Amino acid sequence: MAESQWSLECEIVIHFEDFQKYIDQSLFQQEGSLSPPTPGRGDFVPGERASRQLRLKMEMGTGCMFLLLVFEWRLCGGIQWLGIAVSGTALGWNQTQHCKLAPLVPEQQQLCRRNLELMHSIVFAAKQTRLACQASMSDMRWNCSSIHLAPHFNPDLNRGTRESSFVYALSSAALSHSIARYCASGELPSCSCGLIPAEVAGPDFRWGGCGDNLRYGLQLGSVFADAPVKGNRAGTQANRLMIKHNNDVGRQTLINSLETKCKCHGVSGSCSVKTCWKGLQELSKIAVNLKSKYLAATRVIHRYVGTRKQLVPKELDIRPVRESELIYLVGSPDYCSTSEKQGSYGTHERQCNKTSVGSDSCNLMCCGRGYNAYTETIIERCSCKYHWCCYVTCKKCERTAERYVCK
């Protein structure tokens, strides 16, 4: 395995009877640098329950890596690159050695070394993923608050949950979105504006401007996002199929967001002539679309269909999975109470909406525990006046608002 200054933290708990199976699948062999551990190297924890578990500790580069490969699809490496939102900000990305300092799998490090100028857009994509995820899920019990832990995730995101499917799709879309926008802004020397649309311009507009280079964004974004899958660094085959499917859903949602944007030209803004181009919607809107897919996601299992193993709906009476649907492998808790084991922060002291009937309502958000009310004083600008020329003056006004938090 390529050396990295990042220690990837996962905790490995492997059922003893499945130990030989994991060896046969070479889960402990990556690029020939790690050899399968033998039972003699493991430390068995005393106790009837613990005696069936083997804990493995492996030294890796400059860090110590604990792998958690529970038979329930632990995801290690698939979206750890989101940690670059913090670690990558301080890097200049002008030296190939910087690629080793980021939480990237070897295939992503290789892409980084070959395309250093691309990394600023990837750092931006990681930041935007975090912001869009938390904003779109702010009215849900699971509000994406654990994403800030990247590259070290809680069980809500390091297993094949419904929540992880959303983050995979969103991060995949964000990568291609960011690269496409960076091309159009001239910040990437390897690309430029998107191609002029093939469709004929209308009588009241002409094609022009600088559209987002979606083709280039999809090309490089997919290589980066899918690298852990193609490098067999994302757990079992079922995991890899799930990740690839959800990554594709994210990118297809991005493609569907491409729309015609125009700028008016004419005397006094008369818009007698319009210049138009193809541009992507903001990532926040794409996140909202993916949220609806998250709510309707299908749970799947990995089983034989004929002679080939595929991901199919767990419920036999459900139609086959569509390419536009998010899928997941593991059920999620209700996120009502705190559970470190399940990756739930609970909803204690979460703000709720007393008058809402949606997911942010006090009844649903607080899981029937009730809520407390308090009064908040808000200071805001008011009575603003425009003065010629050219400034605005405002007064400061106070108002009170009643807030509600879950017990």
Each domain of the chain, given as residue ranges in start order, spans: 1-71, 76-341, 362-406
pLDDT of residue 234: 64
Assign a CATH topology to domain 362-406: Endo-n-acetylneuraminidase fold (3.30.2460)
- With tokens 């130990």, the residue in question is 19
Name which of 125, 127, 99, 101 is nearest 113 in CA terms.
99
Write out pLDDT tens, residues 50-105.
Answer: 333 334 333 333 333 333 333 333 454 689 999 999 887 778 888 888 998 889 99
Distances (CA, A) of 283 to 24, 228, 253, 269, 312: 42, 23, 10, 29, 30
pLDDT of 183 higher than 80: yes
Say what the pTM is. 0.79
Measuring CA to CA, which residue among 266, 261, 263 is closest to residue 275? 263
| Reported confidence tier of residue 266, pLDDT bands at 50, 70, 90 | confident
User: Which of 228, 197, 286 lies closest to 8 in space, CA to CA?
Assistant: 228
The answer to whether 242 and 302 have CB atoms below 8 angstroms apart is no
Beta-bridge partners for 299: 328
Phi, psi (rounded to 5 degrees) for 134: -70, -35
Task: Give me 90's structure tokens.
Answer: 């301080």
Residue 159 has pLDDT above 80, yes or no: yes
Q: Report in angstroms the alpha-carbon separations of 110 from 8, 79, 87, 118, 228.
A: 18, 17, 18, 12, 12
Task: Please tell me the least confidently modeled range out of 2-16, 66-80, 283-297, 304-318.
Answer: 2-16
Residue 140 above 50 pLDDT?
yes
In tens, the pLDDT along 211-243 reads 999 999 999 999 999 999 886 666 788 999 999
Quickly count helices (H) and strands (E) in the chain: 11, 15
